[in-house]
Chains A and B, each alone.
Chain A
């Protein structure tokens, strides 16, 4: 049972480090899904910009000097 739980944790952990960041990524992808059919390539550019932006944003939030190093 412990082994199965560790396996399940490992599988979830493959995709989710920070639940908020994962949720933001999913919202961006979902918004992209709706936008691509309406706005075409422009929506792709915006989606990639938002995905890159969230990478910088969450790294900055975690790397702020006030947050303790792990």
Chain B
């Protein structure tokens, strides 16, 4: 058959030389290769002790952000849920009552906010959709678990620690990704 493209490579099958057929020398060469590999550097990352360094645009678990005074930023506008291609986010809005100004920044807030981490594809579209900078993806990733319902994260799991009472925890939870030039 005529070749259809010019990329055909004709395979040359040479008969084996006497040394190759003798087999022992070839085994010896193979064993040298495996022996050399014993002293190579191992690429293994010993996970719980060592962790891979993530790229600056790594998208991990979500966090619900607070402002500098510790008030929740989320206004339950629902844009994140709308943007979510996996339909992983559900929320219920509630009105801020008088005397709750120190808890919620705007007059409306999310009374219930749930993300199903098994549905989530970590695309980060919720973060892009959020006008209030309230939801964004951190550098932590979802831990393994035995029950499915533990993967539905509610507000308690998602809320970032209060920067006023727990500045250390706040900084740690926010990580280095927030506000870095690669992201925004």
Chains A and B are bound partners:
no
Name A's B-contacting residues (CB within 8 A).
none
